[in-house]
Amino acid sequence: MRDAGRALLASLAVWALIMSGAAAGPAPTDLARLEPLAFQDLAGWEADDHAAAFRAFLRSCRALDASAQALRPAQPPQPGLLSVCREALRNPDAGRAEARRFFEAHFRPYAVVPHGGGGFLTGYYEPEFRGSRTPDGPYRVPLLDRPEDLVTIPQGETLPGIDKGLQAARRTGSGYEPYPDRAAIEEGALGTQAKPIVWLREPGEAFIIHVQGSARIRLTDGSVMRVAYAGRNGHPYTSIGRLLVQRGEMDLETMTLDKLMGWLKDNPEPARALMRQNRSYIFFREAAELAPEDGPIGGAGHPLVPGRSLAVDRSLWPYGLPVWLDGRLPLTLDEAEPLQRLMIAQDTGSAIVGPARGDFFFGSGAEAGRRAGLLRHPVRFVVLQPKPRS
């Protein structure tokens, strides 16, 4: 790898196209050493806007509290974190000083020191493309809704007749079978099981939305439609960016999202074959519940907060966990500012693997994508664990 400060990737879309991985071990301590710290050990801690972090934390807390009250929660909240959340919900209007005292009173920082390598941070964003609710004119590439016969397989579980490497299956009258892959779906294997929710202009645009998991679609009438992740066919992810680099079509050092999108547009038939080598396929839903000012829905089930939401390895860290990042935040290829900020774990992703691996959510639109594309840097990763209750 080149020096991370000179990275030229244009967004997490590109980085996720290049890198992928399987789920990590069952516990952070299997992969890293957790070194206890004091808050005064965190450079820049006093200067951060703790009220902004607290507001983002409250979003997670409301979701965790609602989950805890459900009869059969899909993911039972971590008891210690839930207890702290309920304390936070009693005082939702905390200012900067009060929010800082809250975090210091209820959490203890631990530096995450991976057994191999160090912390690493990339950026991601919510793209915006043009589209139509009907297949008119240039709009011929669909985003599909979730099929009724799709069964998501929980992590660590298996279904009869389904390979352990698959994360979803197709329910049939006689049991389960592997779900069709990208090529089969594009050839119509689902029939009427999955209906288009919107039509785009370019296959490459749809592919980038598949990688990001959400998007804003500016429709022909001028309105904006929001789409959110609704499921996947369960096949492993394959990086088309990595394949292009391996073939010598592009150089990793100079790859950008614009360059990749240009190649896909200028080489339609090779691009179609290339994208089909990624057998994974994502389904979407219209997120009509989102206000224009809301971020996209993250893995935790609520809107993300630009500059405060962090995607983490969900197999290692719980949603709602505060994470302190200490590193550099690039402004351009040659300029960067200190990154010393409290983030909240609210999302995940297929390329986010490891105990000190994170994705920084920048927001929506082209400028957020530009900033996200500059971020591919080492970072000090510090988790704030709830203090044991006395």
How big is the CA angle at 168 (ends 127 and 236), to the nearest 5 degrees?
A: 60
295 falls within a domain = no
> Looking at residues 195-206, what average pLDDT do you find?
96
Judge contact between 13 and 127, C-beta under 8 A.
yes
Burial track 131-146 (b if 16+ CB lie within 10 A, e otherwise): bbbeeeeebebbbbbb
State whether 205 and 305 are in the same domain.
no
State whether 271 and 352 are in the same domain.
no
Burial of 150 (0-12, 13-18, 19+ CB in 10 A): buried
State whether 144 and 247 are in the same domain.
yes
pLDDT at residue 194 is higher than 90 = yes
> Looking at residues 297-306, what average pLDDT do you find?
93
pLDDT at residue 219 is higher than 50 = yes
State whether 313 and 350 are in the same domain.
yes
Q: DSSP assignment of 315-330, as one string?
A: TTS-TT-EEEEEEEEE
User: What is the CATH number for 35?
Assistant: 2.40.40.10
Sign of CA dihedral 320, 325, 330, 331: positive
Q: Which of 174, 253, 260 is nearest to 211 (CA)?
A: 260
> Looking at residues 71-79, what average pLDDT do you find?
62
293 falls within a domain = no
Q: DSSP assignment of 25-76, as one string?
A: -SSGGGTEEEEE--GGGSTTTTTS-HHHHHHHHHHHHHHHHHHHHSSS-SSP
Q: Which of 150-159, 268-277, 279-288 has the lowest mean pLDDT?
A: 150-159
Rounded to a whole number, what is the distance in angstroms from the first to the last CA of the chain? 47
How big is the CA angle at 317 (ends 388 and 62), to the nearest 5 degrees?
A: 75
Q: What is the pLDDT of residues 144-165, one digit of tens each?
A: 999 999 999 887 788 988 998 8
204 falls within a domain = yes
Judge contact between 320 and 57, C-beta under 8 A.
yes
State whether 135 and 254 are in the same domain.
yes
> Looking at residues 300-327, what average pLDDT do you find?
95
State whether 240 and 96 are in the same domain.
no
State whether 276 and 341 are in the same domain.
no
Sheet (strand 168-172) strand order: 150-152, 168-172, 175-177
State whether 162 and 277 are in the same domain.
yes
Query: How large is the C-alpha radius of gyration of the chain?
Result: 21
Where does a domain end: 286, 316, 339?
286
| Percent above pLDDT 70 for the chain | 90
How many structural domains is the chain composed of? 2
171 falls within a domain = yes
Chain position carrying tokens 């990001």:
212
State whether 262 and 151 are in the same domain.
yes
Q: What is the pLDDT of residues 7-31, one digit of tens each?
A: 223 333 333 333 333 333 458 888 9
291 falls within a domain = no
State whether 81 and 11 are in the same domain.
yes
272 falls within a domain = yes
User: Is the whole-model pTM more than 0.75?
Assistant: yes
- 105 pLDDT band, cuts 50/70/90, is very high
State whether 105 and 132 are in the same domain.
no
State whether 66 and 129 are in the same domain.
no
Where does a domain end: 258, 286, 314?
286
Distance CA 220, CA 376 (A): 35
305 falls within a domain = yes
- 372 pLDDT band, cuts 50/70/90, is confident
Write down the pLDDT at residue 6: 25
246 falls within a domain = yes
> Looking at residues 320-337, what average pLDDT do you find?
93
> Looking at residues 196-222, what average pLDDT do you find?
94
- List phi, psi (to 5°) of 351: -95, 0
Chain position carrying tokens 């309920």:
86
- Say if strands 141-144 and 196-200 run parallel, antiparallel, or are unpaired: antiparallel
Where does a domain end: 264, 286, 308?
286
What's the domain range around 278? 125-286
Q: Which residue has the higher pLDDT, 388 or 278?
A: 278
